[in-house]
């Protein structure tokens, strides 16, 4: 959709589609229109038999995605038992797409980016990719993000990443060492590497591939579903008021430790 911040290109010859988060001026932060279009793309792919594998990447080279756009206005119900999160439906699994998705990460990947990374089959990262979760720094609970990462990384690494907030970032190499990333490439080679993997996967019999995707996810889906069910309550209880979050964000200090 023009202006939505999402580009989807489909190669009918190979069966591979490349989805690009296309708001580089905003570090590919997700606004409401972009969130709706991502969900629509995944739903379209469910019915497109010509798409057998997908790569998701970010435009511009500086960031894969920096989470929700802080300028987005998300109306919230007054009930403490209800919370509207615009990122809940941006991932493929949230839209019942069980075709393999490979994430190609370059530059910043932080916060709400983990909603997407957590629903990819595996990640390929450029050497200049960095991962971090700034929620606690700005008075927000890292709930959905931490749950997604706990499905991919050792407990201690997830806890450290979430609790250190913006003070630390994971390098691509450290992300590879902890299992978050499956391959590290030179900058600019992450998308071609992901496409090569996707082309191999797309060349295999479709039923076997999609059945394998479901089998892999079934190994952890029950735990993930229970954990995610707790997330809205923890966010409602633990988040500071938006105006206080904004104050902390405005007062943020430069500098971080890269490990």
66-112 pLDDT, tens per residue?
999 877 777 777 776 777 788 999 999 999 999 999 999 999 999 99
How many Å apart are CA 61 and CA 259, to the nearest integer? 21
At 217 the pLDDT is 94
**Residues whose CB is less than 8 angstroms from the CB of residue 11 and which lie 6 or more positions away in sequence, other chains included:** 17, 18
At 16 the pLDDT is 98
Tell whether the model's pLDDT for residue 241 goes beyond 60. yes
At 99 the pLDDT is 97
At 128 the pLDDT is 98
CATH fold of 1-70+85-186+206-259? 2-enoyl-CoA Hydratase; Chain A, domain 1 (3.90.226)
Tell whether the model's pLDDT for residue 188 goes beyond 70. yes
Tell me the pLDDT band of 1, cut-offs 50, 70 and 90: low
Question: Any idea where the domains of the chain sit in the sequence?
Answer: 1-70+85-186+206-259
33-42, 49-58, 188-197, 239-248 — which is least confidently predicted? 239-248
Tell whether the model's pLDDT for residue 141 goes beyond 90. yes
Across all residues in the chain, what is the average pLDDT?
Answer: 93
Tell whether the model's pLDDT for residue 2 goes beyond 70. no
At 3 the pLDDT is 63
Tokens 């993930």 identify what position?
224
Q: Which tokens sit at 184? A: 């590290």
Q: What is the pLDDT of residues 8-66, one digit of tens each?
A: 999 999 999 999 999 999 999 999 999 999 999 999 999 999 999 999 999 999 999 99
Stronger pLDDT, 4 or 241, i.e. the higher one = 241
Stronger pLDDT, 82 or 144, i.e. the higher one = 144
For range 120-147, the mean pLDDT: 96
Tell whether the model's pLDDT for residue 259 goes beyond 70. yes
In this structure, the number of other CB atoms found within 10 A of the CB of residue 172 comes to 26
pTM for the full predicted model: 0.93
SS3 per-residue string spanning the chain: CCCCCEEEEEECCCCEEEEEECCHHHCCCECHHHHHHHHHHHHHHHCCCCCCEEEEEECCCCEEECCECCCCCCCCCCCCCCCCCCCCCCCCHHHCCCCCEEEEECCEEECCHHHHHCCCCEEEEECCCEEECCHHHHCCCCCHHHHHHHCCCCHHHHHHHHHHHHHEEEEHHHHHHCCCCCEEECCCCHHHHHHHHHHHHHHCCHHHHHHHHHHHHHHHHHHHHHHHHHHHHHHHHHCCCHHHHHHHHHCCCCCCEEC
């Amino acid at each position: 959709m023009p202006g939505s911040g999402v580009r989807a290109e489909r190669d009918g010859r190979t069966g591979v589609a490349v989805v690009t988060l296309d708001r580089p001026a905003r570090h590919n932060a997700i606004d409401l229109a972009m969130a709706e279009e991502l969900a629509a793309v995944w739903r379209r792919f469910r019915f497109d038999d010509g798409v057998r594998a997908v790569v998701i990447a970010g435009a511009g080279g500086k960031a894969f995605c920096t989470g929700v756009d802080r300028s987005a206005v998300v109306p919230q119900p007054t009930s403490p038992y209800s919370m509207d999160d615009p990122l809940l439906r941006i991932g493929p699994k949230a839209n019942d797409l069980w075709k393999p998705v490979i994430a190609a990460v370059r530059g910043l990947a932080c916060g709400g980016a983990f909603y997407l990374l957590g629903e990819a089959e595996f990640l390929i990262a450029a050497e200049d990719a960095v991962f971090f979760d700034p929620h606690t720094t700005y008075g927000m609970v890292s709930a959905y993000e931490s749950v997604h990462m706990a499905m991919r990384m050792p407990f201690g690494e997830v806890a450290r990443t979430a609790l250190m907030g913006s003070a630390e970032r994971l390098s691509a190499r450290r992300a590879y060492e902890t299992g978050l990333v499956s391959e590290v490439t030179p900058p600019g080679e992450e998308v071609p590497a992901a496409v090569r993997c996707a082309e191999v996967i797309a060349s295999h019999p479709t039923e076997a591939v999609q059945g394998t995707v479901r089998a892999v996810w079934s190994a952890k889906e029950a735990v993930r579903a229970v954990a995610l069910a707790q997330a809205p309550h923890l966010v409602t209880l633990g988040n500071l008021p938006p105006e206080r979050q904004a104050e902390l964000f405005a007062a943020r200090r430069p500098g971080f430790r890269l490990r």
